[in-house]
Structure formats: structure tokens, C-alpha cells
Structure 1
Amino acid sequence: MKKTIIHAAIITALATTYSTTTQAAQESSSKEHTAKDSKTIIVTGTRVSGRTIEDTAVPVDLITSDIIEESGASEVGELLQKLAPSFNFSRTTVSDGTDIIRPATLRGLGPDQVLILVNGKRRHSQAWVNIQQTIGRGSAGTDINSIPVSAIEHIEVLRDGAAAQYGSDAIAGVINIILKGGSAGTTISGKWGQTKEGDGTVKQVSANSTIELGDTGFLNLTAEFRDRDATNRAGISNRKDRVIMRLGDSSAENKYLFFNGEAGIAYFFGGVSSRSGQSGGFYRFEDRADRNVPQVYPDGFLPLQNTSVDDTSLAFGIRDFIGESWEYDLSAVYGKNEYGFIASNSLNASIAAQYVANNPGATDAEIAANAGPTRADSGGIEFQQLTYNFDLSSPLDWGLHDDVYFSTGIEYREEDYGINAGELVSYSCGYTGSTNNPFPSVIDPNVAAACGMQGFPGYSPEISAASQRERDNYAFYIDMESNLSDNFLLGIAARYEDFSDAGDATTGKISARWDLTETFGLRGAVSTGFRAPSLAQRAFTTVFTDVDGTELSQTYHAPEGSEFAAAYGVNKLEHESSDNMSLGAVYSPGNGLSMSLDAYQIDIEDRIVLGGGLNGQNADANGNPVVNQPALDYLNANGYNKGQFFSNAIDTETFGADFVLTYDWGTEGLGDYTFTWLSHYNRTEVKEINAPQGVLPETLFSQAQVDNIETGQPRQRLMLGLDWALNNWSSSLKVNRYGKVKTSFFTCQGLGIPTSNPDVCNGALGIDPSPSVRSSAKWLADLEVRYDFDNGVRLTVGGNNITDEYPDKLPENAVHRFISDAPEFGNYIYPWESTPFGINGAFYYVKLDLSPSN
């Protein structure tokens, strides 16, 4: 990260303040926020110390350590998918890096419209941009699976717009992950599981322990290793009469080392994670002239993508009092996310083509020997973030009914983004170093051999140079909250934020709660918000293989300010802006019963999305051809079939409601029961498409992309839970209902194949002409049974999706099945674009926990 005056000043202040105040902190009593019960007190959505989940002005879900341990989840995304109905963690396949970094969303919005905090501090974003036809297309959210579940004490989910409190990205809400602290003890766990089909084996070992530091300090350490085998639900290829593709979860090996600690007034936390995985692309058949060299792969080949994700985070801060009431918090947080690709079981078809062009009459053996490597480093992406915060808060006596809890603070953040070039053979046309100088195919000299490695062409030095970006921003906020009477709470927040590359924004929020009786209250909030375009959206550049009609094509993703995007008048991305309104009711009559109902509406203008592929040609509203000559010339000069770019293209409206009911019931002889009912409804509509001049709205943002946003995620979610405990026995039953989903990219209409074409849709080939792909609502059940031995040993047996549910099968003549096996139908059995709970079916596991010191 670049060195700045602010950087040096804050580091100096941290060191100086720590050295002069440590002794005073050690002599002081324990802080109020550490003395409270962490299962009741929350810190998200309010800056008032001691606020509980029962008396907030906005809805906050609390997922406690007990619930986490009993969920059976191995990953944070899987955990939240099970327990927070407003959260979605769609699984996908054959989608490049999104196979291993999955899109995490809240309230049906984008992955980059939910802010992730760890111990209340902003978490850095991921480097990878979702560019394929998946949920969250065009976003670069936060890789929540880079945090091990075994390191988490509890999670707080704020279901309300909070940009005025926390800044950019908090349009949909905030997820705050709290790491285990000084009371965690020591736990060693082992888990083994497998799907009903006998694949997807998971082997996991984790250890968590706390070391005391002095009288009040601690250091909590977590180590975790998890190995997950791939799953495959591909059908038989009718061309090959066998399974040739990999459709399911990619394989993944995960290693984590995390820490969380306090010493005097200082606190520190962070960790490193390393994940590697392998997934497949589309099968390249032996007769594919532009993409295969039959002397190397006489039967065709399945290109594989080997991905690696390395994540690093480190936070250090000091928290103490100035005088008797003013509490300050000074912190620095560093994060880095690195994403790398290696292509294997692949080839660069243009290398053999170059050899044949230079050596006419070469034998098959000579061509095979000079066809280049079958494995190459395709390059990688890096994102770094450094955030400094100074927060100051105190209760103030302004002569009102109660003190005004006043908070203010400043934030400064630096970000760096860049793409690292791959090996020459990963991107080049032959060994020339050029990306646009193809050679005649070794199969058909009338066809140009594709340049770059198949499956994922590497990043060239030109792409690397165009992607290097950095920026900084600073923010200032004020937050006030007070009880104006015994039964009325009012909160006001305002925030100003300025980005060096995207300008400034000012947002505000008013929240209130009115307790009409001791058991019934109303709550609500009105706020404005914004999201700055991410650095990844500004800088990301690549050339990738996409589906164009029934063919594969090379698509250029143009960065902000590129010649291609500028040809359409798009020179710069602007902020997204939002208006958020919520209204709810809370009922807590006692006797273990608690209920809440919250409705909300979120209007977003100038939402940043990834447009469709443009080939330099279009048609006006009357169907007359329109040629954008500069764009067409750019594509032709570089050998690209299409180009795409980000723009502030759409306005959306989101409406929804959440209902939460919990009931605790204890009996004398039959055990203790907890019943949970969580339901979520969400509807997002695209209200306006703001296409650049000369591009039809449906060309820039097709109906398929509209469907991805409006119906690609379940509009309805329901979770019913029943927990039981008696003596040493306990069990948990969770039933999740996922509403129906509809997508339409992989249809004749979505791919731009005319339904009137007599040779394709509705014709001799008999491809399904349906305009959409639908999957009906599904009920999934998770069951876990546990026995606690008296020596700190607990044995757990459980199953996820024990009802063995799958998405609805595709028709036998679905477009999915044609494009992957043309001219036959095969390979795909289940949908590709949106699979809220995956296509793995039932998964069963056994887990052993050892807690020798607890």
C-alpha cells in the first residue's frame, strides 16, 4: 500500500497512545461492553453500549455460538443460508472463479450491497468479479468463506440500510461476524461427511483455544483444515455415451489460521486463509477446429481450472476513556485478497497451428510434440485495503428525559487493485506474444485457431497494465441516540464520504421505536444510502469464453475509461444512491415467546450492473441497423467477438417483509424445547434501464439479465426449527423452504437464437422453445442428534437435505443440454444459473468435539 502522511500519523498515534495509557487501562475495571452477556448484547446497528436485541429500533438477527455449533455447517455462507432467511448463498457451476467464491446476498440485492464487518470493523472485498451468468453478475462482494466457522463466537445480521452509519456497501444491511474471545476455552473438532451419491466427501479438523495474557487479556487461536471432494451431477453425453463434464461443487482444500486478542487497552485480530480448488469448463470435442488439436486430444478434452484464493487480514487498535465518559477507539485494519488461475488438461490451439504454418507437411507425432504445454499459469488478481478509524462516543446530558448517546468519528481508507499477467502461452497467439494474430487451425485451414489456453485464457501484459488502479477515501459521521421518554427511542445519523475517483456523498438516517405497552412496540427507520463503484468494477479487465447463440465466443470485458466503453459514451462510473424505509412491530409477552414483523422498501437509482455483450452493431427501435463504427473497429482490431462493460444502467425497487417467532418451552421430564419460525418475502423489480445512446435497453440489459435480478433468487424463504435437550441428549431439526426461481439466459430468446430459425428452435433440432427456465419451491430438512459424554466429549450425527431434494430437472431438449453437447442433447440435468441450495442432494456427516478444559 502506498505510504501517506495520514498513514504515518495514525501509526505514530497508535504507538504513542498505547505506550502512555497501558498502565492506566490495566488498573481500570473491566469495560462495560465486555462485562455484558454476549448472547444478549449486540453492537451492530447501534453505538449505545449495552443495547440488547429486544429493544433495537431496527431488526437485528443474532446467531449465537450454540446455534452455530448445532447448524452442521462447514462454511460461513452455508451457515447463514440455513439460519438467516433474508440471506442467499447461491451455488453455481462452470462459472470460472465463482465456483469457489460464491455470491452472498441480503434481501435479494447484490453481493456488493451488503457490508461485512469482523468485530465491528470493515472487512476487505474480494478480488474476483462475478462475470458469468450467475447471481450477483458483475459484482465483487466479500469472500465470507475466507473466515473459518470454528473461529466465530456469534453473528449479528442488521436487516436495514445502514450507509449513514457504516458507509458504502451497506444498502441492504450489515453482517457483523464476532470472533471467539477470552471465554471460549479449548475445543478440538473432527468432521467427516459424504453425499448420498458417494461423492463430495468432506474431511475437516479444527482447534480453538484461549491463552490468558496477564490478568484481563487473552489470545484466542483457531486452526482449521478442510478438504472437500468435488460433486458431479452431469448427465451422459449422447455424443460420447459417457459422462464428460463436471457439474456440481468444485473440489476445494481449505487452510485457516485466525486469532483474536486483547491486552490492556489494545485489541488485535485477523488471520490467513488459503484455499485451492479445481473445476471444469465446457467439454471441447475432437472436431472443434478452432479449439482442439486432435494430435494431442484425439477424443476431445475437458479443460480444468485450478484456482487459488489467499486471504490475509490484520487489525490492531486501542480503546480507552478520555476523562470519565468519553470513550475512544483508534484502529488500523489491513486486508488482502489474492486470486490465481492455472489452466490444466488444456492447450493453446494456436501453438500447434503456428508450428504447422511454419512446418507444412509435419507429421502427427511432430505436431503433438510441438503443440505446447497442457498446463499454464493464467495469472491472478490482487486487492488490498487499509482502513483507519477514530471513533469517539459519550453520553451527554442535554436536559432531556435521558442522556443523548453521542458518537462521532473519521475514517480513512486506501485501496489497490491489479491483475498480474499469466505465462505467454496462457494468452498468446502461438509464441508471438500477440493476442490478435491467429493461425489457421490444424483441423480446418479455413478456421482460425483460438488464442490462449482453453477454459480460461490468461491475462496478457496489456490487460495487466490497464487494470492497475488505486484510490483513497475519507469519511466523517455523527450518530446520536436517546430515549426521549420511557417508551420512545429516537436515533439520528449522518455521514459524509468522499472518494478520490468517484466524488462525494452525504447520507442520513432517522430511526425510532415506540413501546406502546411493556410487551408491544413499533419500530421503523428512514434512510438514504449510497454505494461507490468498487475498484474491481472500475479496473477489472479480461478476455473470456462466453456462449453466443450456440457457439463459444471471445468476449472482451472493458474497464472504466476504455476505448470500447467510451465508444458508447460511458467514460466513468458514478455512485449508486438509495432510499430505504422500514416499519415493524415487536411483541414479547414473556413466557419464552417473542415475535417481530418488519416490512421494508429499498429504491436504488443508477445501480451499477454488467451490460450484455455488444458486437458494434445494433438496431434502432424500428429495427433499422445501427453500426457503432469506433466500437466495431476496436473489436476487429483486437480479434474479439463482443465487448461488455459496467455502467450505471438500472433503477430498481425492492419490497419485502420478515417475520421472526421464537418460543422456549421447558418441561420437567420431557426436556427443553425451542421453536423457531423465520420467514422472508422479497420482490425486486427493474423500474428503468438507462442505456447509452445508440443502444437499445434490451440490448444493453436483456430480459435474461432482468430475470436474473428479479426472479433469480427465491422471493420466499421459510425456516422452521425445533431444538430439544434432555440430560446428555440434544437434537435440532431445521426445515427450510426455498421459493421458486426463474432464469432465462439459457433459452433460445436469452441466447439470441431466433425461435423462427427452422434449423434450431422449434425446428429439426427440436430445442425447447420455452422463454424461461423454472424451478419450483422446495422443502429441505436438516437433522442433527448429539450426545454429550461427561468427560468433555460430544458425538454428533447429522444430515443436511435429508429429504434429498434437487432443483427441477431440465427438459430433455433444453438449451443447456444442447450447447454443451451439440448437435446432440446431454450433460446438463439441472439448471445452471441459479441453484439456491445446490445440486448435491442429501449429505450425511459425523462430528466429534473434544473440550478438555471446558
Structure 2
Amino acid sequence: MHNRSLSLLAAVISTFTLLPAYADDPAPGADSSERLDTVLVTGTRGKARTVLDSPVPVDVLTAADLKSAGANSGELGQALQTLLPSFNFPRQSNSGGADHVRAAQLRGMSPDQVLVLVNGKRRHTSAVVNDSSKIGRGTAPVDFNSIPISAIKRIEVLRDGAGAQYGSDAIAGVINIILDDAPEGGEVSTTYGVYHTRENAIGKRITDGQSSQTSAKIGTRLGEDGGFIRVGTEYKDRNPTNRAGYDGFADTPGQRNFAMGDGLARDVNVWFNSELPVGDSKAYSFGTYNERHTTGSDFYREAYEHPEFYPNGYLPQSLGDNKDLSLTAGFKGMLDDDWDYDSSLTHGRNRFDGSTQRTFNPSLGADSPTRFNTGDYEFRQTTANLDLSREVRFADRSFVLAVGGEYRYENYLTFAGDQASYFGNGADGANGLRPSEEVNLDRNVFGTYAELSGDLTDRLFVDVATRFEHYDDAGSKLTGKLSGRYRLTEQLALRGAVSNNFRAPSLAQVGFQNTTTNYGDNGVLTDIRTLPVNSPIARALGAQKLDPETSKNFSLGLTAQLNDRFDASLDVFHIAVKDRITLSQRIGSDALEQYINDNFGVPGVHDVSFFTNAADTSTNGAELVLNYHQPLFDGVWGVTGAYTYNHTKVTKTRGTPSQLSGLGIGSDALVGVEERNTLTDAAPKDRIVLSTNWANQHWGLMSRLTRQGKTTRVFDFGDSWPTQTYGAVWQLDAEAQYKFTPAFDIAVGGTNLTDKYPDRSNSQINYGGNLPYDVLSPIGTNGAYYYTRLTYAF
């Protein structure tokens, strides 16, 4: 383990043993107490366990937590980042697909190395690959924002490798989203907010980013034996923000030609959750549907480039139409009074239609349109599960045996854009997908698992699991996990786990192709084409078939509950990943462009990238959580503190393929300085969240202080490598709620109330002052946000 992590563990163990014992009178209704008593459904299929007696760290987030934390955007991903120090959800800008589908990290790992479940069933990923973002570059992540916050009862976040229990992708952990299952009553809520900030880059106070969210849900009982149906809808409307600086390249001083910030976004969500007794069993079904229209900004072009179309210059804009559907149906009950069973079928799909406007195709001259459909992407996933469990006895002790199987079918498709988008050299900044570049990939996945858990002694709980999965395109993998919890005293316990995990390459990583614009040599805007690894051009340049990533995970933790008011946990971890799948750096030269034109008849391709297994990484970290609550002034007061630290280093990289070396491409072509920066220093190494809340019959008060850790940005401009480290920033959030009646309440609050920004970017990085801030810091670049929320429950 990392020395810093071990030192922290030793220090906290010492602190636990010296802490005074408080009076043991409980504080009913305290939020932290409710979370501790929640029976977990994530992390073990055995005997019901709670947060502190789980053998691995699990966070529980309530619906009330999520509602206040997501107030400034209505985004589930943003709410999770606010509440969980180990969760990172950067607000990308000028980042291609990442402007439309935001990627998230857990424990500093890649966004596609966390498995997302809804009611315990695997969630499908997005169809679009984030090829121009910093965090999450090269991943097709789960779109957290396609799940409405109002649909959620609670979320369980398992911070540990769990591939042996749940399968591929669970290298960093598992996020299980539990949908609202209240059998009666309903709620209507509406929120309105706005950014009001002082942007020092232009010396002005700005009001923008106005957003509104309205949700409604209702439930009713079905029959007399516990059946129910819960349905809801949600609408979100967000105006864009702009934090660009004055254009230092413009002929006229004081011009803002770029756009930097959130784009416009409009979401419609519908969802349901239901259960119906059928004889001695229960039929259940649930689903979500999201339709979203979003905009993003490209980089500004000067007027002299194409004055016949845009005499005053132009700013291309990307458009995304995102449709996301997930449906599950199943039965659960008892077989022969011995086995519990759960059989289900889940279908999920995501369709992303990409377009661009405010640009044109120079090859078409005056006949060029200014808006293009640049290509469409779709991912479909159908999963069938059968899970069985029963109690077994060994040596006069009771254990739970769980076995099961899974079949999954995945299909990835891409569709060409408008002919005008790819004619000649293609649309400026958004070369469309050609019919010859369309793909239709599919695969079958078979998996089976077994898990045995129980108390070996009165003090020792053990859980052992193994899983075998076979991909018909990526081979087979056997994984295993051993976890346990040892009760040292009535107040203290040790827990730990060791496991191996894997992640098969996504079909999107195998088949995705796109062209975007970014800064190339000498900081000049350059079109970059992402090539599928199985394309003839990529293979000729040295691309190889992608292998699954594999990992070895180790964790050790200490939990303490000294009385009914105070609890704490500390966990340290190590994750070593081999054959990590990354998108190569921008690879380009005049010789490469000539080679592609001569051998494949495709002109104008100067820069390319493709996916590789070119890096091995090692991540060490520690996570500390403290909770305290007590009665105060006819209410309950609670304090929570959480800290996370993780450090990733690249332990090995693959060399430049000989095919590229023959074209004059130098060393580190696959994993150069930019990609190393993405893997190691672009995300914060540490974060602190300190929150306090007090509530009684009428009032609720909350404040949250967050320290967003430092980040580092590195660019590769060919002959230079501009680098800047952005310092840590403190953020203050607060909310006050008043209940007029038990059914009706109003809340007012704000996020980033002290109006903090990341450090200003230096002159090598800010592109003439146009991009004064970097998007890496979790505090974002929008400034202070203020909101009010009305809720009526019935």
C-alpha cells in the first residue's frame, strides 16, 4: 500500500481508541442514522447487512440528499459529485461528444471502469465516445443524467472491485440506483435557478444559465398483497453559460468570440416502477426514458478563413439529440421452499444523432449548407438473468449460497451523415461519417457465478465469490473475490477484500469513428480523425485488436461505531490495471497524410488517433468518512466529514508501432505526455466534503464546505508542452427549507456561494485569453448559482 495511505490508517486507528464515549441516547430521525440502518442490497448476496457491517465500503445516498445536491443543474451526475468525494463529474466544454454526454469517475479510475445498476440490473452505456474530452477521453460512459433524480429512492455506491459478483466493468466499483417504490401518495416539485457571478476575466458581472426543473410522481397500490405501481415525469430546461475571455487575436479589442461553459439543454424524462403478486411469486417491471436536446461550442474561426460565408468570423456549434430507453421485467419468489429466485429480462438502448451548425463545407463553395447531420450512433443491450440463493449449513453455522447465470447481447451501429457533411474535405470542424465507414457490430456474452457468505466465527464474516464470463469476440475470463469483516470489539471492526477484475473493450471503442477539431502543432486548430481499430487504415498504422483490461484490487478498512451518535470508517486501496484501453494521442505528419492518400484514396487526413492497450497503471488511495448527530433545539443536528485521496501512476507503456516509426512518427506516439496527464494528474487527487444539517418539524438548514483538489493540465503542441497546475479551491453551498404544512415546503439555496473559480490559465494555455479557465476542476467555471424550490407532497 501507499505509505501515505498506511500512515493515515494508523493515525485514525489511534484516534478511534482515544475518542471519548458519548451518551448513548439515540437521535431518532437523524439522516446519518437512517443511512447506517439501511439494509444494503449491493456488495453481497448473502445475509442482509448495513453500512458499517459490510465487508467492503458502501455509501448510501437518500432522495433528500440528491434533491438538494442536484439543485443547480438537476443532473444526477452533478449530485453524486457533490455528495461523494470519490466521485468526479467534470463539466466539460468545447469537448465534442462530452459537451452532450458527461463522463464520471470513481476512485480516479476511467469512467467505463465503474458498473452502474438500476434496481440491481446492469445499465447500458452511451452510444457516443468522448473523443475530445480530457476526463473520460476514449470512453463510452453510462449517461447518469438520463436517470431523473426524482425517480430515485436511494443510491448505494460500492467502492471496491466487484467483477466476480457483477461481471465486466466493476473495476473501480458499483453504483446501484434504487428507484422509488412508495405504494401510494405523490409529489410535485419545481425548481428555478440562475448563475449570478463576477467574471474577472472580462471584469463584468454576469447573469445567465437560467434553469428550471419540474417533476411529478404518484403511486397506487395494486391488489391487497403488496402490489404497487409508481410513475413519474420530469422536465428540465437549461440556458447556456459563457465564461470566455476577450479575444486577444481579434483586430478590435474587447471582443468575445469564443463560448466556454454549459450549452443549452432540454430534457424530458418518464419512468415507472411496479410490482404485482402472482400466486406465491411477484412479477415486477421498471423502466426509464430520456429524450435530450443539447448544444456545444467548437472553436472560433477568423473572418479571413471564409469571408464569403461569414464576413465577421464564425463559431461552429455541435448539436446532440439523445434518446435513452431502459425496460426491465421479471419474476421473483421461492422454489420448493428452499431457493429464492429472481429471473429478469432487461433491454436498454441509446441513440445519439449528431449535427453541426454555423459552419460550412469549403469543398461545396457557395452551394454549401450551413447545417449538417454528421452521423448517428446507437447502442443496444439485452440482458437475461437468473439468480438463485438459499441457506446452507456447515459445522452448525448458517451460510448463504448464491448462484446464477447471465446472457447478454450487445449491438453497436453507426449511420452516415449528410452527403454534404463528408463531401470533399468535409464540413469545417465536423467532417461527417461516410457510408463506407458505417459499422454494425454485435456480440454475445455468457456468464455464471457462485457466491458463499456467512459467519465463520462469532467475530468473522467471510464472503467468497467467483465468476466465469465468455465474450465471443474478446475471449473468456475467470474472476474471484474474497472479502471479510472481523469484529475487534463491540465498537471496532476490520474489513478487507482482495479480487481480480476485468473490463472487456466496449463495442463503441471497437467501432467508433469521428472527426473533431482541436489544437495541434504550435497551437493551430487541426482536424483529428478517430479510426476504429479494425479499419484498414488503422491496421496499416499499427493498430491491433483490443484485449480486455484486467485488474488486481486490494483494500483494507477500519469501521467504528462508538455509540448511537458517532460512526467512522477508513479504507485504503490499491488497484493495478494491465492493458488499460486508451485512445492514442494525436498522431500526425505530412508523410502520414500522403501515405493515407496514396494507399487508401482518402485525402486531407493529417492527424489520426485509435484505441490501444498501451498502458498499465497503478492507483493507491484512502477514503475517510465521519458522521455525528444529536438532538438540538427540538430538532436533530448532524455533521458529516468525508475525505478521499487517490494517486495513479503509469507503470508501463507500449512502444510506437514500426508502421508509424517508418513514417517518421517518434516515440511515445500511443501514450505521450497528454495521455499520461489524463491518466495521472488531470483529475483531483484529493477532495474534502464537510456538511452539517439541522431539521425540526418546520425548518431544515444545510451547509456544505468542499475542498476541490488541485489538477494539472498538459498540452502537446509538437515543439512545446505547456503545463499548468491549478490549485485547490474551497466551495460553499447552503440551503434553507421551511415547511408550511407537512405537505408543502419551500427551499432557497445556492452553490458556490463565495463565487470561486479555478486559477486563471496562463498565456500558453488560454489561447490568447479566449479560454481563461480550465474545465478540470470540479468547481467548474460557472461561478455562483442561486435557486428556489417548491414541493407539494400528497
SS of 1:526's equivalent?
A: strand
Map of 2:718 onto structure 1: 752
1:305-704 alignment to 2 at 5 Å?
Answer: 305-352=318-365, 370-400=366-396, 402-429=397-424, 451-464=425-438, 467-549=439-521, 550-615=523-588, 633-634=598-599, 637-667=602-632, 669=633, 671-694=635-658, 697-704=667-674
- State the Cα distance separating 1:280 from its structure 2 match: 1.4
What SS class does the counterpart of residue 537 from structure 1 fall into? helix
Where in structure 1 are there 5+ consecutive unaligned residues?
1-35, 353-369, 430-450, 619-626, 755-769, 818-824
Aligned mates of 1:628, 1:285 — CA distance in 2: 25
CA contact 1:296–1:371 (8 Å) conserved in 2: no
The 5 Å alignment of 1:68-147 reads 68-73=66-71, 74-147=74-147
Q: Deviations over 1:508-554 (max 9, x none)?
A: 00001100111100000000001000110011112332321232223
CA distance in 2, matches of 1:50, 1:831: 45
Alignment partner for residue 779 of structure 2, among 826, 833, 837?
A: 837
Deviation digits for residues 271-301 of structure 1, max 9, x if unmatched?
210010112111111112xxx2x22211111
Q: Aligned pair in 2 of structure 1 residues 709, 744: CA closer, same or farther (>3 Å)?
A: same
- Measure, in 2, the Cα distance between the counterparts of 1:830 and 1:539: 33
Q: Tell me the TM-score normalized by structure 2.
A: 0.90
Q: 2 CA distance for matches of 1:312 and 1:72?
A: 22
Give the C-alpha shift of residue 791 in structure 1.
5.2
Aligned length: 735
Q: Does 1:207 align with 2:216?
A: yes
Give 3-state SS (helix, strand or coil) of 1:164's partner. helix
Q: CA deviation at 1:385?
A: 0.3
Q: Does 1:278 align with 2:229?
A: no
SS in structure 2 at match of 1:533: coil
Superposition deviation, residue 426 in structure 1: 1.3
Q: CA deviation at 1:835?
A: 3.1
Q: Which structure 2 residues correspond to residues 293-304 of structure 1 after superposition, within 5 A? A: 294-304=307-317
Structure 1 residues 628 and 791, CA gap change in structure 2 (3 angstroms): closer
Match of residue 52, structure 1, among 23, 27, 50: 50
Deviation, structure 1 residue 639:
2.6
Q: Distance in 2 between matches of 1:68 and 1:94?
A: 28
Q: Does 1:742 align with 2:712?
A: yes
Once residues 711 and 99 of structure 2 are traced to their aligned partners in structure 1, the CA distance between those partners, rounded to angstroms, is: 20
Corresponding residue SS for 1:426 = helix
Q: 1:821 — aligned with what? A: none
**SS of match in other structure, 1:231:** coil
Letter in 1 for 2:274: G
1:236, distance to aligned residue in structure 2 (A): 1.5
1:115-147 deviation line (CA, Å, top 9, x unaligned)? 000000000011110111410111111001100
Structure 2 residue aligned with 1:32: none
Amino acid at match of 1:102: R
Partner AA of 2:729 in structure 1: K
Displacement after TM superposition at 1:631 (Å) = 6.0
Structure 2 residue 766 is the aligned partner of structure 1 residue 816: yes
Aligned-partner residue type, residue 735 of structure 2: E
Separation in structure 2 between the aligned mates of residue 510 and residue 663 of structure 1, nearest angstrom:
31
Comparing 842-851 and 336-345, the one that deviates more: 336-345
State which drifts further: 67-76 or 79-88: 67-76
Aligned to 1:70, the other structure's residue is in SS state helix
Q: Which moved more, 1:840-849 or 1:180-189?
A: 180-189
Among all aligned residue pairs of Structure 1 and Structure 2, give the percentage whose two residues are the same amino acid. 38
Tell me, yes or no, if the aligned pair for 1:614 and 1:642 is still in contact at 8 Å: yes
Once the two structures are superposed, the pairs formed by residues 23-42 of structure 1 within 5 Å of their partners are 40-42=38-40
Letter matched to residue 805 of structure 1: K
User: Taking structure 1 as reference, are residues 286 and 771 closer, same or farther at Cα in structure 2, changes over 3 Å only?
Assistant: closer
In the TM superposition, what is the alpha-carbon distance from 1:384 to its structure 2 partner?
A: 0.4
Equivalent in the alignment of 1:807:
758
2:791 is aligned with what amino acid? D
Secondary structure of 1:186's aligned partner: strand
Does structure 2 conserve the Cα–Cα contact (< 8 Å) formed by 1:43 and 1:49?
A: no
Q: Give the drift of 1:691.
A: 2.6
Change (3 A) 1:634 1:701: farther
Answering whether residue 741 of structure 2 is matched by residue 787 of structure 1, we say no
Partner of 2:231: 221
Question: 1:630: how far off?
Answer: 6.2
**Which position in structure 1 is the counterpart of 2:20?**
none
Moved more, 550-559 or 81-90: 550-559
CA-CA distance at 1:185 after TM superposition: 2.6
For residue 236 of structure 1, what is the aligned residue in structure 2? Answer: 246
Q: Distance in 2 between matches of 1:140 and 1:111?
A: 8
Equivalent position amino acid for 1:679 in 2: Y
Who is 1:9 aligned against?
Answer: none
SS in 2 for 1:397: strand
Q: 2: distance between equivalents of 1:712 and 1:633?
A: 38
Stretch moving more, 48-57 or 321-330: 48-57
Q: For the residues of structure 2 that align with 1:632 and 1:651, how far apart are their CA atoms?
A: 34
Higher strand share: 2
User: Shift in Å at residue 104 of structure 1?
Assistant: 0.6
Deviation at 1:253, TM superposition (A): 0.3
Over the aligned positions, Cα root-mean-square deviation in angstroms equals 1.9
In the alignment, is residue 178 of structure 1 matched against residue 178 of structure 2?
A: yes
Separation in 2 of the partners of 1:115 and 1:582?
Answer: 18
Equivalent residue, structure 2, for 1:29: none
The 1-side partners of 2:722 and 2:301 are apart by 27
Is the contact between residue 654 and residue 684 of structure 1 (CA under 8 Å) also seen in structure 2? Answer: yes
SS of equivalent residue, structure 1 residue 56 = coil
Which residue of structure 2 lines up, in the alignment, with residue 167 of structure 1?
A: 167
Report the counterpart of residue 435 of structure 1 in structure 2: none
How big is the shift at 1:699?
2.1
Contact 1:567 1:631 in 2 (8 A): no
| Contact 1:72-1:784 at 8 Å conserved across structures | no
User: Which moves more between the two structures, 229-238 or 634-643?
Assistant: 634-643
Query: Which amino acid is the alignment partner of residue 616 of structure 2?
Result: D
Gaps of 5+ in 2: 1-33, 197-205
Counterpart for residue 698 of structure 2: 728
Moved more, 524-533 or 537-546: 537-546
Q: How far is the alpha carbon of 1:634 from its aligned partner?
A: 4.5
Higher relative contact order (CA 8 A, sep 6+): 2
1:232 Cα deviation after fit = 0.2
Question: Which AA in structure 1 matches 2:484?
Answer: A
| Cα distance, 1:344 vs structure 2 | 1.4
> Aligned with 1:840: secondary structure?
coil
Query: 1:835–1:371: structure 2 CA closer, same or farther, 3 Å change rule?
Result: farther
Decide whether aligned partners of structure 1 residues 608 and 660 sit closer, same or farther in structure 2, where only a CA change above 3 A counts: same
Give 1:790 deviation, angstroms.
1.6
What displacement does 1:753 show? 2.7
Instruction: After TM superposition, give the deviation of residue 636 of structure 1 in Å.
Output: 7.0
Distance 1:418 1:600, change over 3 A: same
State the shift of 1:72 in Å: 4.5
2:65 alignment partner, one of 64, 67, 72: 67
**Residue deviations 1:488-521 (CA, integer Å, cap 9, x gap):** 0011000000101100100000001100111100
| 1:612 to partner: Cα distance | 1.4
Does the aligned pair in 2 maintain the 1:86–1:680 contact within 8 Å? Answer: yes
